[in-house]
Amino acid sequence: MNTELSNKIKISFKERFKTEPLMIFSPGRINIIGEHTDYNDGFVFPAAVNKGIVAGIQKSEDFESKVYAVDKNEEISFSLYTLKPSAEGSWANYVLGVVSELQNRSKTIGNFNIAFGGDIPGGAGMSSSAALENSVVFGLNELFNLGLSKEEMILISQKAEHNYVGVKCGIMDQYASMFGIENHALLLDCRTVKSKPYKIDFKDYELILINTNVKHSLSDSAYNDRRSVCESIAEMLKVKALRDATEYDLQGIKDKVTPENYQKVLYIIQENDRVIKASKAMEADDLKTLGVLLYASHEGLQNQYKVSCFELDFLVEQAKLNGHVLGARMMGGGFGGCTLNLIAKNESENFKTHVAKVYNEKFGKACSIYSVKLSAGTHLI
Ligand code: GLA
């Protein structure tokens, strides 16, 4: 975690609200493999990282609650009795949505003040939104002794996103952010919501992230559309979720679905399978196979599930041109954000310099390159 950031948030909180806050760090996440499988009850392989959201929170004697977004220098205030979503696209909905879900569960809270800031840009595909939701629910649980388990808290965060933000997300982001373990990735079964930790040590290789610094605007509606295609085809296949379907099952209804939707569902079935294969490859220290699976995942996201974009595809093409990159793929919901690259440590610097140059030449803007450490989940600082 970034101590400079946490000092900044603490100072901002104290200046503005004149009390001592409870401080929380809630991490963002990466995902090694398993994209869009979470809302199909499938498998994913995320890890919390040492970048995320820092929040300061404390009870307030006021008649209203206040939220201060330090990075944006914006404040909102609201009454707990007349809660409603803010304008579409506003950061406030991640906070208001959590409060609303607590109320839906008859959890009583009083007024509070919160100040937050982060070190992952929104739109990076690293779940700054889940990190923010988790920091709020975690902080309110502590402040008002709500007695919520971590399992309950992540469901509250997820519902906040469904109902206030309007994205029908799966559980991966909230889970990884809350349950992360230092130096580990989590093989998560999104049906049972239980995970198996894997110690990550890629020896001569490392993971680096390259942020396209774009977020194409159709992403939320495209996300919800994909989810509803998956659900309706699961229904046609008479299974609870696509996790239960096989390629053979899908073949059986080929003439009843459009070729586009056929490919989307095929992608989900294959990606789910890739997650299991990736976990076995990691158990066997077989990074080559892991790399092949990463490229295959990108290929599916690009051509079958159709959630990639030019910028992401360009970065993955650059990775393929470099013999020291074992695998690369877009990460997260898609339409922008980061690629994840598994690269030989001794080639990393060359690759970074090269990619920064060619990306700039191609798109007339900079990409950002990050190395991350795998970190513990949401916690008090
Ligand atoms: C977003 C969602 C997650 C997951 C990913 C794609 O990050 O919030 O639930 O579906 O996209 O894997």
pLDDT in tens, 289-300: 999 999 999 999
Q: Give the strand order in the sheet containing 46-59.
A: 74-78, 65-69, 112-118, 46-59, 22-31, 379-380
* Residue 52: predicted pLDDT: 97
* Mean pLDDT, all residues of the chain: 96
- The closest of 220, 250, 222, 226 to 238, measured between CA atoms, is 250
- The closest of 31, 34, 47 to 243, measured between CA atoms, is 34
Residue 124 beta carbon below 6 angstroms from any ligand 1 atom: no
* Residue 30: predicted pLDDT: 98
At residue 99, φ and ψ (nearest 5 deg) are: -60, -45
Residue 130 alpha carbon, nearest atom of ligand 1: 8
Percentage of the chain beyond pLDDT 90 is 95
Rounded to an integer, what distance in angstroms lies between the CA atom of residue 146 and that of residue 173?
23
Rounded to an integer, what distance in angstroms lies between the CA atom of residue 33 and that of residue 226?
18
Residues in CB range of 338: below 8 A, 6 or more apart:
124, 125, 126, 209, 210, 211, 212, 330, 331, 332, 370
Residue 170 alpha carbon, nearest atom of ligand 1: 9
Which of 94-103, 208-217, 285-294, 350-359 has the least mean pLDDT? 208-217
- 285 pLDDT exceeds 80? yes
Task: Please state the rounded mean pLDDT for residues 260-278.
Answer: 98
What is the residue with the minimal CA distance to atom 1 of ligand 1? 333
Residues in CB range of 185: below 8 A, 6 or more apart:
32, 45, 46, 47, 197, 198, 200, 374
Between the CA of 358 and the centroid of ligand 1 the distance, in Å, is 29
- 281 pLDDT exceeds 90? yes
Rounded to an integer, what distance in angstroms lies between the CA atom of residue 234 and that of residue 241?
5
Alpha carbon 262 to its chain centroid, in Å, reads 26
Give per-residue pLDDT as tens, 100-156: 999 999 999 999 999 999 998 778 999 999 999 999 999 999 999 999 999 999 999
Between the CA of 188 and the centroid of ligand 1 the distance, in Å, is 13
Residue 337 beta carbon below 6 angstroms from any ligand 1 atom: no
Which of 25-29, 58-62, 69-73, 214-218 has the least mean pLDDT? 214-218
The Cβ of residue 33 has, within 10 Å, a number of other Cβ atoms equal to 30
Between the CA of 247 and the centroid of ligand 1 the distance, in Å, is 23
Task: Please state the rounded mean pLDDT for residues 331-337.
Answer: 95
Task: Please state the rounded mean pLDDT for residues 12-17.
Answer: 98
Give per-residue pLDDT as tens, 1-11: 789 999 999 99
- 218 pLDDT exceeds 70? no
**Gyration radius from the chain CA atoms:** 21
Residue 271 beta carbon below 6 angstroms from any ligand 1 atom: no
- Two structure tokens written together for 189: 């079964």
